[in-house]
Structure 1
Amino acid sequence: MARSIFFILFLFTSTLNAQNLDSLFQELETTMSKRKHYDERKKTRINNIKKLLSDQDINSENRYFLTSRLILENEYYSFNESLHYINNNIDLATSIGKDSLKTESILKLSNILATSGRYTESLNLLDGINRKVIPNGLLLRFYGNYKKCYDELKNSSEVKRISEKYRGLYRAYSDSLNTEISRNDKESIEYLIVIEQNYRDANKLGEALKINEEILSKSISGTRDFSFAAFNRSYMLRWLNDDKLNQKKYLILSAISDIKGAIKDNASLTNLAEVLFEEGDVERAHKFINFSLEDAQFYNSQLRFLHISNISPQISNSFEARIQKQRNKLQKQLMFISALSIILLMALYFIFKQFQKIKQAREQAKVVNVKLRELNEELKVKNEDLRQIHDELADVGRVKEQYIGSFLNLYSEYIDKLDGYRKMVRKYILTNKVNKLLELTKSKQVIEEELKLFYSNFDKSFLHIYPNFINSVNGLLKPEEQIQIGDNEQLNTELRILALIRLGITNSSKISKILRYSVNTIYNYRVKLRNGAIKRDEFEDLVKNIG
């Protein structure tokens, strides 16, 4: 039971952490999209200082300190700019005659050379400084620069004796730095950074993490201190607990801080891309490594270029392979869709042919409907026509049952009526009531009643197949030209004309014969409907497409 509860809690925690990580990835990509904004803020600060420097009346010392501010702004933003302004300050310090300012500038030059991977040049500068004349305030930089150079050299050398030599020098300068830093404020970030490094060197990662947490609490996102501390924390968590989730979390936080601070000399996003590539997330890895490459190119860092050049080709090749795989998959899907499209076209052609048959059947049914009003002696012909229509309708599988049943019922009623009419005529002749028979044939009441019944059956059958026909037609008409149907009506004359057009009967002469109006009347109705349409020229074509 306890194991089950622990497993459930573990799954819940893992899911929650994964969701938090997704939110951080979204925040990172949002921040990446705003890089130009953060860079512009950095440029604004730099330009403001340049404006102050452009004043020809400021003295050399003030110019030195303004240039120092420019160096600080460019330190992790542009290697070339930093190098330019440091050299300016070395010249200014020489002209002022203050050795402490010159030493300070040389130490800054040594630092950016070491940061960009130019360790030999950095060490040459450091070796050229007389230790005895360095002011106490600059000793931390002096020892720190030596320590940084030998830290990288001991890890990069493949020759054991040389690596051991660098390791010994690293320890020696670490001791000197520890002695010097012990005189500083124990709460300062500079002090905490050195202590954290000491714990990491001693493989006391638990203690190092505590110090690291304190550094993070004292720094804010968008600063180099926060970015560096978050970067260190990501790898300490991975080394200590194999915690890949938190490794990615703190690499993301470090990368966000780098972008916000316009820090171009960064490693977090590159390392995050490498971790994601190892996990198979090639798309994100490709996006992040390209972003990092742009920063490295902007800063002009040899160290970053070397790191990125080792991983970028693998990520790019994998990304291209994935794109090619997706392209191949897309081509297969396109072929499949094309095949389906051909099948669909064939089906549409078949449906069209069936619809043509239905239309022909309807036209023939109307012819039969007219001929049924003829004399009894034509009944045999009409029956033959009816059987022919039934045979044709049997081949048409798309006509609705009610529509067929309605017309069959109508024909049956016509036969009964004709038979009744025949009997009545026979009776009148046998009883010598010829005059009454003549009066009966003069009346149009029978035709009018049959016509009403024909309209009713047509309306009912058509609306059963196209139940939304009236609303669809009104949708094609202007608001003031909408067709209103009475309570006892299904379709009016205008709608019946449009219904026949929908069924493919567009000839006014044919429509007039079916609805028993004059051709001129049908023409006037059609003109009136087109004039009331929203799209006059396309109106009847749109009616034909009503579903």
Structure 2
Amino acid sequence: MNNATDKLRIYERLVNEYTPYKYDSAMVYVQKAINLAKHIDSSEYYTQFQIIKARLLACRGFYIEAKEILEKLEIPPTNRQLNYLYNCSLSALYFNLNISTKNTEYCQRYYTLFQKYIDKAIEYCPKKDAQYYYMKGVQLYSKGTIHDISTCFNKAMSLSEPDSRLYAMSAYALSKTYDRNHQSEKQERYLLLAAISDIMASTNESLALQEVALSLYKNQDNLSKANEYINISLKDADTHSNLQRRMEVYTNLHVILSAYYEKLQKHSTWQDVAIISILGLMAVIVAAIVFVVRKNQLLKLKENELKTLTEQFSADNKQHKKDNKALQDSNDELKGSNKALKDSNKALQNSNKALQNSNKALQNSNDEFEYTNSKRESMANAFIMLCYQYIERLDSQRKLVIRKIKTNQQNELLSTLSSSKRSAEESQNFISQFDKIFLSLYPSFVKELNTLLTPDAQIQLKDDNELTPTLRVAALIRLGVTESAKIAGILSYSPQTIYNYRSTLKNSAIDKENFEENLQKLCSVY
């Protein structure tokens, strides 16, 4: 047993070392530890490594699998270590979900859950050590002051070695804090510290190095270095087998490579232009020298011819100027035409986009109309069937009365009509139909009603999805039936009973004075 326990501890150390370096290796040792813990029937180690496995899956992007593992675990309330690891894994799961759903309607929900579980994890975290101050800084990141956040992360760094993963994580988080507060010098300092620490710790996470590459790209300081750093980050993400990090690096890699290649292309273009210009200038100089030497030799003999040539050159220059001006005018016209075409294309794109939005809005409206018509048809059918049942009963009673009177069975008729069994069955049928129709019209009525009541007075539906007497009274008030006598007549209760139900509801309300007014405003849009 001791040998197995020692082996599990060694597995734990290997997993901790491989986690920031290579996901596949870390997962291999996690699975070995789970199998060994299961073999020796150690529930504590089994739970511990299942939690670690869930956290690895969440970091890799397997959110559903991680959540399924955590939901199956039962954590003893007295075991602080397991509770700490469990809440850390849940916070990591929802942090990654928050990042992956950025700019969507689910982002805030996952961030709220992340905050909830990071708060719980801190409750079980050993106080006053480096991990505690790091987690406290993460907790304060979105709601604390920059002074409190920087104090926590600096404290975590002071209690950690510069070549440790926690030191790098604290420095990186601190750089993001200063970046958010537009303190660029401090942001750059801590970002470089985080990148250096990552290299010293031999991890493959490379978050800081990726940010350094982006910073170099944004500031146009050194695109070649930015290209080198982003390629290192991609290599590390491939080695670590982190799909989410790889996708993020690919996105940044495309941006930086495009800028880098564009710079190289511009540089090459300027070199070509310079070479061509120099060659052209040399050709002109050589031609001019040959021309001058030749003209000097023939100067005396051909003065008149030179004069004629000069006049001809002057005429040619004037013609060239006219030609150049005509070409310039043509170029200006082409530029104007190109601009007009661009404006026209942009207008067409905007029109297409507007048409797409209109089609989408029309489709949504059609879906809403179909849903509303379906609900109306269902309600109309239920109302017709209810009326039909009452007509059938009245017709049956009419025939019964006629038959009994004709056979002089008045006493038996009186006894039959006085029976409460039939009345109770009809009332129960009416109430069942009422419950079904009302909940179909207002499916969120119970949930919205509970928002008006105190937490200890919440009302739930019956197991068979029927309204309770209190909910029926509230439903009739919502439909505008506010007189207790009418409510009592509809539900076959006494007015005093209705009064008691209304008093109970009002006394349980958060806003007692305006309770029934607020009640009648529930489910206002369906």
TM (norm. structure 2) is 0.51
Q: How far apart are the structure 2 equivalents of 1:156 and 1:272? A: 22
Alignment of 1:12-161 (within 5 A): 59-132=3-76, 135-157=79-101
Secondary structure of 1:201 counterpart: coil
Partners of 2:75 and 2:82 within 8 A in 1: no
Residue 97 to residue 325, structure 1, CA distance change in 2 (3 Å): same
Alignment of 1:415-454 (within 5 A): none
Alignment of 1:456-535 (within 5 A): none
Q: How far apart are the structure 2 equivalents of 1:296 and 1:308? A: 8
Q: Does 1:287 align with 2:223?
A: no
Q: How far apart are the structure 2 equivalents of 1:86 and 1:344? A: 78
Residue 329 to residue 89, structure 1, CA distance change in 2 (3 Å): same
Q: How far apart are the structure 2 equivalents of 1:207 and 1:342? A: 71
Secondary structure of 2:141 counterpart: helix
Q: CA deviation at 1:295?
A: 0.6
| RMSD, matched Cα | 2.9
Q: How far apart are the structure 2 equivalents of 1:337 and 1:279? A: 33
Q: CA deviation at 1:133?
A: 7.2
Q: How far apart are the structure 1 equivalents of 2:180 and 2:138? A: 15
Q: Percentage identity across aligned positions?
A: 20
Partners of 2:84 and 2:122 within 8 A in 1: no
Deviations 1:25-46 (A, max 9, x none): xxxxxxxxxxxxxxxxxxxxxx
Larger relative contact order (CA 8 Å, sep ≥ 6): 1
* Letter paired with 2:157: L
Residue 330 to residue 248, structure 1, CA distance change in 2 (3 Å): same
Which residue among 310, 320, 323 is the counterpart of 2:264?
Answer: 323
Residue 246 to residue 344, structure 1, CA distance change in 2 (3 Å): farther
Residue 77 to residue 156, structure 1, CA distance change in 2 (3 Å): closer
Structure with max Cα Rg: 1
Q: Does 1:185 align with 2:116?
A: no
Q: How far apart are the structure 1 equivalents of 2:6 and 2:232? A: 38
* Letter paired with 2:255: Q
Q: CA deviation at 1:234?
A: 0.7
Q: Does 1:217 align with 2:177?
A: no
Q: How far apart are the structure 2 equivalents of 1:179 and 1:168? A: 17
* Letter paired with 1:123: K
Q: How far apart are the structure 1 equivalents of 2:257 and 2:103? A: 32
Structure-1 residue corresponding to 2:196: 256
Partners of 1:61 and 1:96 within 8 A in 2: no
Structure-1 residue corresponding to 2:209: 269
* Letter paired with 1:200: Y
Deviations 1:225-256 (A, max 9, x none): 1110110111111222x122222221111111
Structure-1 residue corresponding to 2:114: 170
User: What 5-or-longer segments of structure 2 have no aligned partner?
Assistant: 291-526
* Letter paired with 1:271: E
TM (norm. structure 1) is 0.49
Deviations 1:271-291 (A, max 9, x none): 222222222233222121111
Residue 235 to residue 158, structure 1, CA distance change in 2 (3 Å): closer
Structure-2 residue corresponding to 1:237: 178
Q: How far apart are the structure 2 equivalents of 1:68 and 1:210? A: 31
Alignment of 1:398-409 (within 5 A): none
Residue 260 to residue 312, structure 1, CA distance change in 2 (3 Å): same
Q: CA deviation at 1:192?
A: 0.7
Q: How far apart are the structure 2 equivalents of 1:143 and 1:259? A: 29
* Letter paired with 1:129: L
Q: CA deviation at 1:343?
A: 8.5
Q: How many residues align?
A: 290
Partners of 1:116 and 1:303 within 8 A in 2: yes
Judge which range, 104-113 or 138-147, deviates more.
104-113
Residue 174 to residue 348, structure 1, CA distance change in 2 (3 Å): same
Q: Does 1:296 align with 2:237?
A: yes
Q: How far apart are the structure 2 equivalents of 1:150 and 1:134? A: 25
Partners of 1:233 and 1:247 within 8 A in 2: yes
* Letter paired with 1:284: K
